[in-house]
Every structure is written in structure tokens, then in C-alpha cells.
Amino acid sequence: MLPVLTLLGTGFWMLMIFDCVRNDPEKGTWLWILIFLNVPGAFIYFLVRRAPYLNLPMPKALKRWTQRDKIWDAEAAARNIGNPHQFVNLGNLLLELGQIERATNAYEQALSKEPQNSHALWGMASIDLAAKRYAPAKERLEMLVKQEPDYKFGAASLAYGQALFELRQWDAACEHLVDDIKRWSHPEAAVMLAEIQRERGDRTAAKNTLETMIFKLKGTPKFYYRQKQHLLRQAQRMLKTL
């Protein structure tokens, strides 16, 4: 068993050296780390230099460490240039790392310079939705979908529908969710609409909404269908109550 692990470790070490020589702009530093630390150095190199580009899930502390140069550059750009774009870029990085307070401040700086900046509105709305602050999220999203109805390929539209739904603004929510389903066929929008219809006692409409959603969902590509299994099960449970 030990020789096999040694062979695998050596192979991984050599692969990381090859990657470093071929792809890493800081190979002068990392080659020395790989040579002196050997296999442990290969794991360090993989986590710090390769994993961020592979979108692998990492602990936030490690992610902050690997992204520290990007954050430093973004902070410097926001401080020195100070346009909304730089503050949005900084906010996006900080939000990705879970630094909510600092991300909020960055987005607010962008909005203070450009109140209708789409990316800053989306960033702030995302933070509000995650914190279940639906009223301010609704205001920001309403402004966003009016100026860019197709923002994020319909993600802003769905989020606006969610805010209206959570605020129990049924009339506005119904109108918007119907339009969202026509445009984007979001299964989430169909489930919310069916719940409103059931709350209002219109069981036939709720049943039709859910059955249509299930039919469309089953016709989507397999990877998307698998992602939405929880919504399929939720819709099927609701149908049993109608």
C-alpha cells in the first residue's frame, strides 16, 4: 500500500511541477516551493494556484488567502480610480468570500456615484434576499428589472418575483410571475404562483400551473432536470393537496 501511495504522490508532484512551468506566471517562486517541499508543496501549490480556477469548494478562510492579491488589487483600484465599476468589482469579490459588511459598503459606494448601476443593485438585492430583508430587495429589484428586464438571463426577474411573494403582495406577484414564466419558464416562479393560487382558493389554476411546470421541466436537458429535482418533488406534493 505504501509504495502505491508514494508513487501516486510522486506523480502528483511531477504533474504540479509541469503545470507550474507551463502555466504559472509566478513559477520562479513556486518552483522553489515545489522542489524543497516535495509532495506537501504540490498540495499547497494545487490549493493556492490551481483550485481557484477550477471552481472547487474551499473553506472561506483558505479562499480569502488565495484571493488576497485580487482583493488588494480591487481595493487599490476602488481607492485610486473610484468609478462604480471598481466598487462593484470589489463588492463582488468580497461577497463571494462571505464578507457581507464590506461588500455592502462597496456596493453602496457604487450606488452613491451611480444610483441605477445594475450590478450594484443586484449585489445589494442579493445581500438583502439572503438576509430576508424583502422590502429593500424588492425596491432595488424593481428598479433593476425596469431598466434591464433580461438581467442575468432572468435571474433578477425571478428574484423580484420572490421578493413580491415573500411580502405577500399577491396581485403584483401574480402579474409578475405569470410574465416571468412566459419569458423564462422558471420552475421556481411556477411553484410560487401555484402557492398564491392555492391560497386564494383557485385550486384548478394551481393544478394547471404545476402540471404545466412538471411537463416542461421533464423536457429540459438532464443536467438542468437533476438540478431542479427538489422543485419537482415540491410540486408533486402540492398536487396531492389540490
Q: Can you give the pLDDT at residue 226?
A: 83
Q: Can you give the pLDDT at residue 23?
A: 78
Q: Can you give the pLDDT at residue 53?
A: 60
Instruction: Give the CA dihedral 192, 195, 197, 199, nearest 10 degrees.
Output: -140
Q: Can you give the pLDDT at residue 21?
A: 86
Q: Can you give the pLDDT at residue 55?
A: 57
Grid cell locating 140: 432595488
Grid cell locating 134: 424583502
Residues 6+ apart with CB under 8 A from 207: 194, 239, 242
**Residue carrying C-alpha cell 482583493:** 71
Q: Can you state the angle between helices 84-96 and 100-113, rounded to 10 degrees?
A: 160
Grid cell locating 228: 431542479
The pTM score is 0.75
Backbone dihedral angles phi then psi of residue 228, each to the nearest 5 degrees: -100, 15
pLDDT in tens, the chain (242 residues): 557 677 888 888 888 888 888 877 777 888 888 888 888 888 888 877 777 666 555 555 555 655 677 888 889 999 999 999 999 999 999 998 889 999 999 999 999 999 999 999 999 999 999 999 999 999 999 999 999 999 999 999 999 999 999 999 999 999 999 999 999 999 999 999 999 999 999 999 999 999 999 999 989 888 788 889 899 999 999 999 88
DSSP label at residue 151:
G
- DSSP 3-state helix, strand, coil percentages of the chain (rounded to 5)? 85, 0, 15
